[in-house]
């Protein structure tokens, strides 16, 4: 019995000695870290034989605190597991400290001589990306300074959240296409692919779960999708729907607030004041229509602009307005941009003619003035000004028609006919560039080109397909030829489904085309200008105001003058001198089109929004599109 007791005692002492030895071998870590809140930790890597109790004794921290700091430790420890040991600042070892970043981030500690450019290059980020998560960060870095580095995935997630708000899942149904989803969620194909990048490769498939903005998750002022007219089957070729040219709901990225500053706005408009003496009103036989005087066209622009300025004043905009008569004259424009007050402008609208644009844009760039160009379609990269081109390009107009084909006409055949002139060949190049854009995914094997001179008209007519929607682009410039072409196509309307397409800039000059033909052939065109005269909330009230003020109904230039001044006046009022950084957050409803500005070079923006309009039952029905990727 005594021997058994001795053996038990020896075994106990051996086990106790092993535990004492294990306790002695726990070496305290000197690997220091700090989390985003400033809490300090030592990182202990669990070795064989160590347990929570012994580790707590080694560091003088209770087991409860260790489990609270490392919840996974409650399930037991594993060899190699890392524990965070909380310690006060006074006990931090004199070694290099690593910071623990939140999920989606890492930390960078500035090295000796390291510049902001080097940091941005290393992580492939912009200064805006870093300042977004490091509000006090400047380009003057200090040695050992900590910078929170967001991952690309984190940036993308936060961008989506800021733009679209909270997202929810939606399961695609059998007949869902981009056009239906646009109607349901007010999201274009580009919007859906931005939120769900996998759609770029997979496309829309029944059963696929995608993410869409959750209803009522947006903040700020919101525009809505408006439809009018009776509901009809979506398969109908000319659907009776008018989609207002307003942007989908968006979470504001900028913080709008009314400024008390007085802004200086210049309007450079060709008023031809020297011709006023030619206006005859004494003799009724000599009175001409206003459009016969070339100055009246632009006077009407100013009249619309003045109404917008009056309304902006009521909202709180303080502005000094300078109106200069450019006379379409280079010397006159040169003299205007040399006036001392010109250098102090915050915004200049004009000068209305491409021959004067380079002068004004160069001066605006020199004095850091925001410039609104109304009629030019230029590659303005060389000017480097804060310039906004209101007019959309020919390529983008064609792109919008291609997008309509892609979204709404799955069973199409595209025919293009031209007469071989230089202008028509250039237009053909622009049309092909738009239709063949990779993100449109137009099937190029279904695109056929015919030269009118080489029996193209006959070949086109003989190739019409009774099983497809025959989309026809006529690029011929001769009005008589086009008129005959439409008449011949109209004779085929009972045998074939035909849709004629074009851009308003090219077709608006034709005055003898039969409206019956355009209606029966579902003439569909893209345009920078389309006013919904049934809009009682905005258009009708503007019409009444314009008529009461000027004793006439507003012409096209009146709408343009109001819209441009109203939009950019809002930009100044709510976002100040740096409104170019927030240009697509401007919540100002317009009448003749919407504005969706995209940067085409540093400081230069162009409107990408295009209205697609279709004749149906002798009415023009709007199908608004934003061709965001066509250049």
3-state secondary structure 152-217: HHHHHHHHHHHHHCCEEEEECCCCCCHHHHHHHHCCCHHHHHHHCCCHHHHCCCCCCEEEEECCCC
> Which pLDDT does position 265 carry in this prediction?
93
Q: What is the mean pLDDT of residues 6-23?
A: 47
> Which pLDDT does position 305 carry in this prediction?
92
DSSP per position, 100-125: EPPTTEEEEEPPTT--HHHHHHHHT-
Q: Is 608 helix (H, G, I), strand (E, B) or coil?
A: coil
Give tens-digit pLDDT for 210-255.
988 875 433 322 222 222 222 232 222 222 222 222 333 344 457 7
Structural element, H or E, at residue 488: helix 479-491
The tokens 């200090």 sit on which residue?
142
Higher pLDDT pick, 354 / 80: 80
Preceding amide of 511 cis, omega within 30: no
Q: What is the CATH number of domain 101-150?
A: 3.10.350.10
Strand bridging mode 604-607 / 597-601: antiparallel
Alpha carbon 196 to chain centroid distance?
16
Per the CB < 8 A criterion, the answer to whether 586 and 570 are in contact is yes
Higher pLDDT pick, 276 / 463: 463
Q: What is the mean pLDDT of residues 608-615?
A: 84
CA distance 536 to 558: 18
Helix axes 330-337, 354-366, angle to 10 degrees: 10
CA distance 272 to 64: 86
Statement: the pTM of the whole predicted model exceeds 0.85: no
CATH class of 394-527: alpha beta
Residue (of 86, 78, 15) closest to 48 by Cα position: 78
CA distance 332 to 570: 30
Higher pLDDT pick, 19 / 596: 596
Strand bridging mode 347-349 / 262-269: parallel
- 23: pLDDT strictly greater than 70: no
Q: What is the mean pLDDT of residues 56-75?
A: 87
Q: 406: which residues sit within 8 A by CB, 6+ positions away?
A: 178, 189, 440, 441, 442
Q: 385: which residues sit within 8 A by CB, 6+ positions away?
A: 361, 362, 364, 365, 369, 371, 603, 604
State percent of the chain over pLDDT 70: 79
Q: And the tokens for 96? A: 């290099």
Q: 438: which residues sit within 8 A by CB, 6+ positions away?
A: none
User: 91-123 burial string, b = 16+ CB within 10 Å, else e?
Assistant: ebeeeebebbbeeeeebbebeeebebeebeeeb
- Percentages helix, strand, coil for the chain (3-state, rounded to 5) are 40, 20, 40
Per the CB < 8 A criterion, the answer to whether 106 and 98 are in contact is no
Residue (of 132, 211, 209, 214) closest to 165 by Cα position: 214
CA distance 185 to 191: 10
> Considering the chain, what is the average pLDDT of its residues?
77
CA distance 112 to 61: 36
Q: Is 126 helix (H, G, I), strand (E, B) or coil?
A: coil
Residue (of 343, 352, 174) closest to 270 by Cα position: 352
- 384: pLDDT strictly greater than 80: no
Per the CB < 8 A criterion, the answer to whether 532 and 594 are in contact is no
Instruction: Give phi and psi for 269, each to the nearest 5.
Output: -130, 135
Residue (of 464, 447, 462, 357) closest to 402 by Cα position: 447
Q: And the tokens for 176? A: 């869902």
Q: Which of 200-209, 248-257, 428-437, 583-592 has the lowest mean pLDDT?
A: 248-257
One fold for both 2-91 and 394-527?
no
Superfamily of domain 263-392+532-595: Response regulator (3.40.50.2300)
- 113: pLDDT strictly greater than 70: yes
Residues 618, 619, 625, CA angle at the centre, nearest 5°? Answer: 135
Q: What is the mean pLDDT of residues 344-370?
A: 85
Q: Which fold has domain 2-91?
A: Membrane-bound Lytic Murein Transglycosylase D; Chain A (3.10.350)
DSSP per position, 431-453: HHHHHT-TTT---GGGEEEEEGG
Q: Which of 163-172, 336-345, 535-544, 551-560 has the lowest mean pLDDT?
A: 535-544
Structural element, H or E, at residue 567: helix 556-575
Domain layout of the chain by residue ranges: 2-91, 101-150, 151-251, 263-392+532-595, 394-527
> Which pLDDT does position 620 carry in this prediction?
53
Residue (of 342, 135, 27, 593) closest to 127 by Cα position: 135
Structural element, H or E, at residue 45: strand 40-45
Q: Is 292 helix (H, G, I), strand (E, B) or coil?
A: helix
CB atoms within 10 A of CB 374: 20
Give tens-digit pLDDT for 37-46.
667 888 888 8
Q: And the tokens for 431? A: 């049309």
- 263: pLDDT strictly greater than 90: yes
Superfamily of domain 151-251: LysM domain (3.10.350.10)
The tokens 């019995």 sit on which residue?
1
Query: How far from 383 is each of 368, 394, 485, 584, 620, CA to CA, in Å?
Result: 11, 21, 43, 22, 38
Per the CB < 8 A criterion, the answer to whether 452 and 428 are in contact is no
């Amino acid at each position: 019995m005594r021997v058994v007791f001795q053996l038990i005692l020896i075994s106990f002492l051996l086990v106790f000695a092993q535990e004492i030895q294990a306790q002695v071998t726990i070496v305290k870590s000197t690997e220091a870290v700090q989390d985003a809140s400033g809490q300090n930790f030592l990182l202990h890597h669990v070795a064989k034989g160590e347990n929570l109790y012994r580790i707590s004794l080694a560091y003088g921290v209770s087991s409860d605190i260790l489990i609270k700091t490392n919840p996974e430790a409650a399930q037991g420890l594993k060899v190699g597991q890392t524990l965070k040991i909380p310690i006060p600042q006074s006990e931090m070892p004199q070694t290099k400290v690593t910071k623990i970043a939140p999920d989606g981030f890492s930390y960078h500690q500035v090295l000796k001589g390291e510049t902001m450019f080097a940091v941005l290059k290393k992580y492939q980020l912009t200064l805006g990306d870093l300042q977004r998560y490091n509000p006090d960060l400047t380009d003057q870095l200090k040695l050992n300074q900590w910078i929170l580095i967001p991952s690309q995935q984190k940036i993308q997630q936060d961008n989506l959240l800021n733009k679209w708000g909270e997202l929810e899942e939606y399961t695609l149904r059998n007949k869902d296409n981009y056009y239906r989803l646009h109607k349901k969620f007010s999201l274009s194909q580009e919007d859906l692919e931005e939120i769900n990048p996998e759609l770029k490769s997979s496309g829309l498939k029944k059963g696929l779960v995608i993410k869409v903005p959750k209803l009522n998750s947006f903040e700020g002022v919101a525009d809505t999708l408006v439809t009018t007219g009776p509901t009809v089957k979506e398969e109908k070729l000319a659907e009776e729907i008018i989609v207002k040219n307003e942007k989908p709901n968006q979470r504001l990225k900028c913080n709008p607030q009314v400024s008390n500053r007085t802004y200086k706005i210049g309007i450079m408009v060709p008023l031809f004041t020297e011709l006023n003496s030619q206006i005859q009103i004494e003799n009724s036989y000599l009175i001409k229509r206003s459009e016969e005087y070339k100055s009246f066209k632009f006077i009407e622009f100013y009249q619309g602009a003045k109404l917008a300025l009056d309304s902006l004043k009521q909202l709180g905009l303080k502005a000094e307005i300078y109106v200069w008569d450019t006379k379409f004259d280079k010397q006159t424009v040169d003299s205007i941009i040399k006036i001392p007050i010109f250098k102090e402008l915050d915004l200049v609208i004009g000068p209305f003619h491409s021959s004067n644009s380079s002068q004004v844009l160069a001066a605006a760039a020199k004095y850091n003035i925001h410039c609104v160009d109304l009629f030019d379609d230029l590659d303005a990269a060389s000017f480097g000004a804060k310039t906004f081109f209101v007019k959309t390009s020919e390529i983008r107009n064609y792109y919008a028609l291609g997008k309509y084909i892609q979204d709404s006409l799955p069973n199409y055949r595209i025919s293009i006919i031209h007469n071989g002139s230089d202008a028509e060949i250039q237009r053909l190049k622009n049309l092909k560039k738009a239709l063949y854009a990779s993100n449109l995914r137009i099937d190029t094997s279904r695109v056929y080109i015919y030269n009118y001179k080489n029996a193209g008209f006959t070949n086109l007519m003989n190739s019409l397909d009774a099983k497809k929607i025959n989309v026809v682009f006529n690029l011929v410039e001769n009005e008589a030829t086009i008129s005959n072409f439409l008449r011949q196509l109209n004779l085929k309307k009972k045998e074939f489904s035909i849709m004629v397409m074009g851009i308003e800039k090219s077709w608006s000059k034709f005055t003898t085309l039969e409206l019956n033909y355009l209606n029966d052939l579902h003439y569909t065109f893209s345009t920078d200008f389309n006013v919904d005269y049934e809009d009682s909330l905005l258009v009708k009230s503007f019409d009444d105001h314009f008529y009461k003020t000027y004793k006439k109904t507003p012409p096209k230039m009146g709408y343009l003058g109001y819209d441009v001044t109203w939009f950019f006046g809002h930009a100044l009022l709510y976002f100040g001198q740096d409104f170019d950084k927030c240009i697509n957050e401007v919540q100002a409803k317009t009448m003749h089109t919407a504005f969706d500005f995209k940067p085409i070079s540093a400081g230069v923006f162009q409107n990408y929004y295009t209205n697609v309009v279709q004749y149906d039952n002798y009415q023009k029905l709007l199908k608004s599109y934003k061709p965001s990727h066509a250049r």
